Amino acid sequence: MIRTVNLKKVYRTEEVETTALNDINMEIQSGEFVSIMGPSGCGKSTLLNLLGLLDNPSDGEYYFLDEEVSGYSERQRANLRKQNIGFVFQSFNLIDELTVFENVELPLLYLGVPSSQRKKRVEEVLENFQIMHRRNHFPQQLSGGQQQRVAVGRAVIAKPKLILADEPTGNLDSTHGDEVMKILTDLNENGTTVIMVTHSPSYAEYGNRTIHLFDGHIVTENIKEEFRV
pLDDT (tens digit per residue) in 193-215: 999 999 999 999 999 999 999 99
Do the Cβ atoms of 169 and 202 come closer than 8 Å?
no
d(CA 175, CA 160): 26
Query: Is the pTM higher than 0.85?
Result: yes
Question: How many CA atoms within 13 Å lie on the side-chain side of 175?
Answer: 4
Phi-psi region of 98 (alpha: psi -120 to 50; beta: other; left: phi over 0): beta
Quote the pLDDT of residue 229.
52
The pLDDT tens digits for 62-107 are 999 999 999 999 999 999 998 899 999 888 899 999 999 999 999 9
